[in-house]
Amino acid sequence: MISDSQRAMLAARPRTPQFGATEGLVKIGHYRRAMPVTMARMMENALDWEHLPTLHASSFSSIDLIDSGPWGWQAEAAVPSGSAEAPDRLQIIELLVDTQKHHWVTTILGGVAEGNQIHTQAVALGKDEIEVQVDFFVPDTGLTDEQSRQYGQVMSTIYAQLYDEDESMMARRQQEMQAWAAFRKSKDGREDALDLGPVEEVRAALPRIVPFNGGRFKLDWQDGAFVVFSVRCPHMLGPLDDEPVTDGVVACPWHGYAFDVASGACRDHPGLKLETPPTAVVEDGRLKLRASN
Ligand code: FES
Ligand SMILES: [Fe+2]
């Protein structure tokens, strides 16, 4: 929990990134990576503080937002200690973005690795491809060349994993947005019902994902009845397809929002709800999904 004086200090900081201004710092390494995603997805990802402890669970165990806006965000995050005995270590992180120049500066303002900065420039390589160029800086405390090189390698390894995870989220989200836009534009009408086959055969092959009227639904059997729920998270279209349902609740792997599969209600954000699923009905020994009105 940050103190009132820390909060006042954070509120007084400038809100524009000083990209390339690295006085008092030394560069310890560089990482670059091309990814098949649009610049819009990349900038959205930089501003998205909320995915850190869920998508990047091996690097962050929790995050509490302090402030955010179009300029970026400040948050208190916990970094796993790596040991069951030692408590997680806290960090105050600030990320300042220039959305026109496609660069951002991440600064550790308190806690573990205080003073470190990461300067990232994103460059469009094509309509659906970008490259991130990441420079790692630490306070100039007299590290030897060998210590700097090793520290830089550690940072590159961590960033390779973070971008593996980010790339999968950004690419998937982009694909979902395009698929949804294509369906809305298409002339295909909505189906009233979908025949899935003989009921016992369907039951023997559960769970399964069924595309229906532009949505994607999971069909399963629980407590003596068929259940059907949307596997497209209404927050940012995260995939619920492979997530376990525990006590009737499924959690999204991107930001961790939890949904009651029976009602679709979101436990974290009452305004969000899973898409209304079709209803599973048995007619003449066959299982059908019927569009809900
Ligand atoms: S996409 Fe954010 S919680 Fe699912
Ligand atoms: Fe990320």
Give 103-144 pLDDT, tens digit per residue: 999 999 999 999 999 999 999 999 899 999 999 999 999 999
Share of the chain above pLDDT 90, in %: 90
CA of 39 to the centre of ligand 1 (A): 20
Q: Which of 136, 137, 174 is nearest to 43 (CA)?
A: 174
- pLDDT of 86 higher than 80: yes
- pLDDT of 293 higher than 80: no
Its pTM stands at: 0.93
CA of 234 to the centre of ligand 2 (A): 19
205-217 pLDDT, tens digit per residue, is: 999 999 999 999 9
User: How far is Cα 53 from Cα 75, in angstroms, rounded to an integer?
Assistant: 12
16-58 pLDDT, tens digit per residue, is: 999 999 999 999 999 999 999 999 999 999 999 999 999 999 9
Q: Which ligand is nearest to the CA of 172?
A: 1
User: What is the fold of 4-182?
Assistant: Alpha-D-Glucose-1,6-Bisphosphate; Chain A, domain 4 (3.30.530)
**For the sheet containing 245-246, what is the strand order?**
245-246, 249-251, 258-260
Q: Which ligand is nearest to the CA of 57?
A: 2
Q: Is the CB of 259 under 6 A from ligand 1?
A: no
Q: Is the CB of 238 under 6 A from ligand 1?
A: yes
Q: Which ligand is nearest to the CA of 170?
A: 2
**Which pair of structure tokens corresponds to residue 111?**
């806690």
Question: Which atom of ligand 1 lies at the shortest distance from residue 257's CA?
Answer: 3
Enter the CATH code of domain 193-290. 2.102.10.10
Map out the domains of the chain as residue ranges: 4-182, 193-290
Q: Is the CB of 110 under 6 A from ligand 1?
A: no
Q: What is the structure's pLDDT at 246? A: 94
